[in-house]
Amino acid sequence: MKTHSICSYTVLAFLLLLTACAGAATESLPGTFDGDLAYAHVLAQCDLGYRPTGSEAGWATGDYIIEQLEAHGWEVETQVFTYRDTPVRNVIGRLGEGPVIILGAHYDTRRSADAEDPSVPVMGANDGASGVAVLLELARSLDPAALDHQVWLAFFDAEDNGRLDGWEWCVGSSYMAAHLDVTPEAVIVADMIGDADQQLYMDGNSHPALREHLWDIGATLGYTDTYIPEVGWTMYDDHIPFAQRGIPAVDIIDFAYPYWHTTQDTPDKVSPDSLERVGRVLEQFLEQGAEW
Ligand SMILES: [Zn+2]
């Protein structure tokens, strides 16, 4: 059953891409973030299988991200290191000139569905794939002529095995934050943002002014039902290693996700509209000069 349902993601991804491309010819503007194209990236990642750090599918996910970035003209750098005898690889895509803004997402998935059966991994359609999908669609949709910053799309490995066999959380992002050769103006992380029942409360550990600005953009785009301007949770996520270095950092996360770290974190829980609401806010933020 599992193999069958994973294969069907490929078929669905293909149909969605066809639909989205057909739509693009008639309706959506080129250079506008498209939720259906983002959702195809969720399906493509899940089609690779469970993607924990150090797995074959995890490495293939990094390869997929690199291919997508290069196809859209982004300059790619990888950071490969070893953590607890496990190879870890961060991927960074860069575009444009000027002060640096980093958008980040983790691409590894948790190797244990600890809420149920710890021997079974998590598919991570939302916890992992959704944030990556938004960044990859931004790689296509961002208009280089509208950017007055250098944008980094940062794909972190090894976020999600925290507390398993003594692993820490946020290993890849910690490594990246410790090896920066520039000081970015801001770091914005997108994690678990694809839930069809989207509730984007603010994170209490995020930079207040930057967070308010992003939620204001959400409001101007009409997303008042999903961008809720109240602190709903306080997260230790991939933004923290950057915040600890004094860099304004925000985590866009919907932690009201009943399938978190369960076997039910599958693509049917993720909606293209939810991905689009996050992608368009980030697109507006960057194309409006990334000021706050
Ligand atoms: Zn997780």
Give the pLDDT score at 10: 53
- The pLDDT-based confidence of 165 (bands split at 50, 70, 90) is confident
- Cα 121 to ligand 1 centroid, rounded to whole Å: 11
Cα 279 to middle of ligand 1, angstroms: 20
pTM over 0.85: yes
Say how many Å lie between the CA of residue 262 and the centre of ligand 1. 10
CA of 216 to the centre of ligand 1 (A): 27
Q: Are strands 186-191 and 249-253 parallel, antiparallel or unpaired?
A: parallel
CA of 42 to the centre of ligand 1 (A): 15
Q: Assign 3-state DSSP to the chain and report helix, strand, coil percentages, each to 5.
A: 40, 20, 40
Question: 143 CA distance to ligand 1 centroid (A)?
Answer: 31
Number of domains within the chain: 1
Of 7-16, 128-137, 236-245, the least confident: 7-16
Percent of the chain with pLDDT strictly greater than 70:
90
Instruction: Return the pLDDT at 21.
Output: 45
Q: Which of 73-82, 109-118, 135-144 comes out lowest in average pLDDT?
A: 109-118
Q: What is the mean pLDDT of the chain?
A: 92
CA distances from 162 to 110, 192, 194, 238 (A): 9, 16, 22, 12
- Work out the burial of residue 30: count CB atoms within 10 Å of its CB; fewer than 13 is exposed, 13-18 middle, 19 or more buried: exposed
Tell me if 171 is assigned to some domain. Answer: yes
Residue 167 maps to a domain: yes
Ligand 1 center–CA 81 separation, angstroms: 21
- Range with the poorest average pLDDT among 11-20, 54-63, 78-87, 144-153: 11-20
Is the pLDDT score of 15 beyond 80?
Answer: no
Q: Kindly report, residue by residue over 219-263, the tens digit of the pLDDT.
A: 999 999 999 999 999 999 999 999 999 999 999 999 999 999 999
Query: Would you place residue 27 in the very low, low, confident or very high pLDDT band (cuts 50, 70, 90)?
Result: very low
Residue 288 has pLDDT above 60, yes or no: yes
Per-residue pLDDT, 31: 80
Share of the chain above pLDDT 90, in %: 85
Distance 230 CA to ligand 1 centre (A): 22
The per-residue b/e assignment along 244-281, b for 16 or more CB within 10 angstroms, e otherwise, is eeebbbbbbbbbebebbbbebbbbebbbbebbbbbbbb
| Residues spanned by the domain of 9 | 2-287
Confidence of residue 114 (pLDDT cuts 50, 70, 90): confident
**Residue 212 Cα, ligand 1 centroid: separation in angstroms?**
25
Structural contact between residues 259 and 265, judged by C-beta atoms closer than 8 angstroms:
yes
pLDDT of 281 over the 50 cut: yes
How many whole angstroms from 204 Cα to the centroid of ligand 1? 18
Ligand 1 center from residue 234 Cα (angstroms):
15
Would you give the distance in Å from CA 61 to the centre of its chain? Answer: 13
How many angstroms does the Cα of residue 194 sit away from the middle of ligand 1? 13
pLDDT value, residue 138? 98
Give the pLDDT score at 128.
Answer: 98
Distance (angstroms) between ligand 1 centre and the Cα of 254 equals 12
Distance 223 CA to ligand 1 centre (A): 25
Ligand 1 centroid vs 161 CA: distance in angstroms?
8
> Is 240 inside a domain boundary?
yes
Q: Is the pLDDT of residue 142 over 50?
A: yes
Q: At what angle do helices 56-71 and 129-141 cross, to 10 degrees?
A: 20
Instruction: Name residue 77's beta-bridge partners.
Output: 92
Query: How far away, in angstroms, is 183 Cα from ligand 1 center?
Result: 27
Q: What's the CA-to-centroid distance between 237 and ligand 1, angstroms? A: 9
Residue at 292 is within a domain: no
pLDDT at 6: 43
Residue 96 has pLDDT above 50, yes or no: yes
Please tell me the distance between residue 43's alpha carbon and the centre of ligand 1 in angstroms. 18
> Residue 269 domain-assigned?
yes
Question: Separation of 31 CA from ligand 1 center, angstroms?
Answer: 31
The CATH number of the domain holding residue 181 is: 3.40.630.10
Distance in Å, CA 261 to ligand 1 centroid: 6
Confidence of residue 118 (pLDDT cuts 50, 70, 90): confident
214 within domain boundaries: yes
Distance from Cα 45 to the centre of ligand 1, integer Å: 16
Cα–Cα distance, 284 to 103 (Å, whole number) = 13
Kindly tell me if the per-residue pLDDT of 28 is higher than 80: no
Say which range, 2-11, 23-32, 182-191, 200-209, has the weakest mean pLDDT.
2-11
d(CA 239, CA 174) in angstroms, rounded, equals 9
Confidence at residue 9, expressed as pLDDT on a 0 to 100 scale: 57
| The predicted structure's pLDDT at residue 53 | 97
282 CA → ligand 1 middle, Å = 22
